[in-house]
Amino acid sequence: MTMDSTLVPTESTEAAGRYPLDPLTGAEIETAAAIVTESNYATPTLKFVMIQLAEPAKSAALSFAGEAAVPRQAFVTMYDGAAKLIYEAVVDLDARVIDSWTPIPGRFPSYLVEHMTGVEEKVREDPRWQEAMRKRGVTDFSLAMIDPWPAGYYGAQDQYENSPLICRPLTFMRAAPSENGYARPVEGLIVTFDLDHMEVIDIEDHGAVPLPSKGGNYSGQFMFTPDNRPAFTQFRDDVKPIDITQPHGPSFTVDGWNVTWQKWSLRVGFNPREGLVLHEVTYTDRGEVRPIMYRAALSEMVVPYGDSSPTHWNKNVFDMGEVGMGFSANPLTLGCDCLGEIYYFDGTVNDSSGNAVTIPNAICMHEEDYGISWKHTDFRTGEVEVRRSRRLVISMICTVGNYEYGFFWYFYNDASIEMEVKLTGVLTTGAVPDGETPRWGKMVAPGMYGPNHQHFFNFRMDMSIDGPGNSVYEVDSIPEPDPERNPHHNAWITRDTLVASESEGARDWEYSTGRYWKVVNPSKLNEFGAPVGYKLMPKDIVPVMVQEGSVIYDRARFVQHNLWVTRYDPKELFAAGDYMYQCAEAQGLPQYVSDDAPLTDTDIVLWYTVGAHHVVCPEDWPVMPCHYTGFKLKPVGFFDGNPALDVPPSPPAACHHH
């Protein structure tokens, strides 16, 4: 863990023993790998996919503070390409033994680290690929950018019994070593690549389309080809600096992975698949520590493309489950990705040999002013009361090929929580012949278009509103149904519908009723006799364009509903299942709800899907301005009044004017 130079990190967990939910250290990752490698289970072809904390069973107290020492265990996923088998192991790091070893037949793993870097070199060497490139006038193969797109699913030939572990790389051409290669997509050329043997299986060439001629550079430091003008010739000279200063330091405190800020307390975590994870989120109300969420993390994401052309129709990447958001996390930069008094957490992942790899500054934490929290002017007395809103920001930014995804958890001093996803980066592009207009996308530059596509992100939130016994209600606003009570035709009420069991747990948002959902604790009543709760407030709902009968429909069934509610099961972590690579069947949430578990006054998990509907435009090129989507959790009857009343006034010295 590292911080801005004005702050000093603590490493108390290293010296005094680790908390049971702390991520594995690099030493623990390598210990787990060594225990497996030295065991009778090891083979010469066994490779490590992910090594992460095997989280201990949830405590009845929703916290491990003050409890007896919990054994440190690693959850290890491995892939043996020769046997075509995934293995899962739980390794006791203290006893140096393997507690369990489980083969997972009929499934493929997510990418190994070398898959992201080794495919490009092998494709370049293939004579069939070279011949296809010569047909397009390309002879300098060193300038080719070859992105190892996950296989998607083409049909029965991709089933486990008939196929190796494959990917389908797409090719782009730089005009010069420093050029944006996505400006010159190689249309119609599809490679099928065997990741088990790291060799090209097949080349499909659906006909050459001229490479787009216009450059797509977005930095003044990049070279420009002679026949193209840069997007700009100089940076704006009228942008004055904005400095964020906290002369007395930040308001948060950090002890290892535990964070306290104002009345909030939580634990930060990190692993190769999910990346940023939050645990034990609580709020202190008049001296009482009140739990809100036990665990929260991205559960899965998918990017289905709506283009029927040969190069694009099966682009349906599960960036988390097929690649890994932790593996994709950026080392963040002070003043660019994060601004102000920053605390950084390093992320530690593994390579396929079991070596630890550190991603410095993978998680950024800082405070932000967020405008007015509340204000009122008494016009009779002239008295004015106003308070500033502030939020704690905990974020991670991931690069997966051409796109960047930023995941930002916000904690506000009015006790609300927000998740915001920021999408930026470079469009994946396609080429069209001169004079043609794409049917399934929009032009962004001469000869080049961006296909229609969507992004869906599912977040798993293990709720614990004032304890583990919770219920979920769907809340609709409707006109007063009793005509005698609505003589002026203006009255309306809210109607609560209990989500009683998992068969009813797949829910859809309704615009006409302003629908939201609330999680309540029926055993904890507020001063009005109503159960305390938090409500989930939807934001930016998008239509789902994934159609039944498509090859992505079953693989991404979680996108078909905005909200899923399940009863807690520690084995149910991922909305599309544990291993969805190259698999066509429905997994994850459709299976989780199939036992129709009761959902009343029990341990509740919310799975909420947010989306981004992307019909591209020229302004998205050559690099896309941030698009924002997300949701909010807000207290509803959880407190007896406005929880931000005790926020102190801002001193006049904090203001400046001319």
Inter-residue contact 630 to 610 (CB < 8 Å): yes
Q: Give CA–CA dist 498/116, Å, rounded.
A: 46
Q: Give CA–CA dist 350/113, Å, rounded.
A: 9
How far from 266 is each of 262, 263, 269, 422, 569, CA to CA, in Å?
A: 11, 10, 10, 23, 22
Cβ contacts of 537 within 8 Å, gap of 6 or more:
516, 631, 632, 633, 634
Give the closest residue to 562 by CA, choosing from 474, 458, 632, 476.
458
Q: Give CA–CA dist 596/506, Å, rounded.
A: 11
111, 153, 403, 473: the active-site residue:
403
22, 147, 319, 578: the active-site residue:
319
Strand partners, 391: 368, 412
Q: Is the dihedral of CA 427, 429, 435, 439 positive or negative?
A: negative
What are the percentages of helix, strand and coil residues in the chain, rounded to 5? 10, 40, 50
Please state the length of the chain: 658
How far from 599 is each of 363, 567, 602, CA to CA, in Å?
A: 34, 6, 6
Q: Give CA–CA dist 467/246, Å, rounded.
A: 36
Parallel, antiparallel or unpaired: strands 624-635 and 417-425:
antiparallel
What is 540-566 written as a DSSP string?
S-------TTSTTTTTTGGGGSSEEEE
Three-state DSSP state, 428: coil
Is 403 an active-site residue? yes
**Which positions are annotated as active-site residues?**
319, 403
